[in-house]
Each structure stands twice: as structure tokens, then as C-alpha cells.
A = this chain, B = another copy of it.
Amino acid sequence: MTKPVQQRTLKTRAKLIAAAEVLIAKEGYTALRVEDVVQKAGVAKGTFFAHFRDKDALMDRLIGAHIDRILDDWEKAPAPKTIPEVVAIMSPLLTFLTSERYVFDVVMRYSGATLIEDIGPIAMTIGRFDELMCGWMEVGEYRADVSPQLLSEGVQAFFFQAMALHFCALHSDIALTDRLQSYLSAWLIVKTESPSASCT
């Protein structure tokens, strides 16, 4: 109860993470192999799995940490007021999530936690994303007929849709940010404009 975790535990975990980060910096997430990580960290294979449930748990942590760093910038910057500004601020995250198909897949799979107990790093970042978005929705001049919460969920949906189509051969010709912008323009209908030809 007093000291359930030993010093060497932290040290070993740090070694594993450091080794993984070096390897990823060199070869990317897709190419990472557990064998290489433990070899570089100088520990046995079993040790890895004493620290991480599986390979994906490490990925969850590393990718989550990367996303967190990007979201830190979102928080530091002034809230975007227009749709182009929203897209612009989102751009670094789009770039990271589409840098490797594998990264996108991991984020998709871990963006929602299955059990409440194990809300992992990536799932946490989705929470941050959502919170930030809700804030932006309130300060910008967007439609007011639906709640900021729903607006935020929609932005998330289009955010992922834009990336999914980016990976698709039939649609990858259109720039990711352009597509997202046209989605958001349609979703977050700007307040001051009156609907063009709908009220007959």
C-alpha cells in the first residue's frame, strides 16, 4: 500500500519507452517490433509484457503522448473563430494521424475505451479533443439549433471521415484540409447567413 511500485520498475519502463521512441524515430510506428525494443532496452521479452499488456498498449501510450503534445498547442493558441481557422489549427493533427496508415488504425481502435476502467492515453485525447471543440463551438458564430456537444461530435465524425477518404484511392486526390473545410462549412452553418433557398 505504501510503496507498491519499485524504483527499478520505473527505470525498466523508462528504458523500454526510450528504446521504442528511438526506433520509431528511425523507422516509424509500423516497423516497430517488440523483439527490437527489448533488445535495445537490454531486457528479456517477458519483461516487456510485464509492463505493457501487449504491443498495442505501448503504441497507445506513445501515440497518445504525441497527440497530447499537439493538443497542448491547440490549448495554447487563441480559440479559432472561423472555419478556416479551425481547419488550420487542426492541420498538424491531421498530418500526424495520416502519416502512417497503422497510426490511424490504432487511433481508431483505441479512441473509444471498451471498459471504463481502461481508458487509455488515446481515449483520453479524444476527450480533450471533444472538450476543446465544445469550447470553440461556443465562441464561434456557428449554428445554435443544436447543442455544442452534438456539434463537437459531428466535427469529430467529419474529422475521421476526411482522413478515411484520404486513405482511399478513389478520393485521395482532394486535399485533406479542403475536404474537411467543406464538411465543416456544411455542418457548422454560420449563424449570420440566412439559408439560401430552403424557406419556400
Q: Which residues of B lie under 8 Å from residue A183 when comparing CB positions?
A: 150, 153-154, 157
> Cβ of A30 < 8 Å from any Cβ of B?
no
Among residues of B, the one whose C-beta sits closest to the C-beta of A194 is: B199
Chain A contributes a number of interface residues (CB within 8 A of B) equal to 44
Docked complex Cα distance between A176 and B157 (Å)? 15
Q: Which residues of B lie under 8 Å from residue A116 when comparing CB positions?
A: 169-170
* 0/1 interface trace, chain A 186-200, chain B, CB 8 Å (1 if under): 110101001111111
* 0/1 interface trace, chain A 149-190, chain B, CB 8 Å (1 if under): 010011011101100110111110000000000110011010
Do A145 and B197 touch (CB < 8 A)? yes
> Cβ of A114 < 8 Å from any Cβ of B?
yes
Do A170 and B111 touch (CB < 8 A)? no
Docked complex Cα distance between A161 and B165 (Å)? 14
> Which 3 pairs from chain A and chain B are nearest by CB?
A112-B168, A157-B161, A157-B157
- List 18 A–B pairs whose Cβ atoms lie within 8 Å, in order of A's numbering: A105-B105, A111-B168, A112-B169, A114-B167, A114-B168, A116-B169, A144-B197, A145-B195, A145-B196, A145-B198, A154-B158, A154-B183, A154-B186, A157-B161, A160-B160, A160-B161, A191-B198, A191-B200
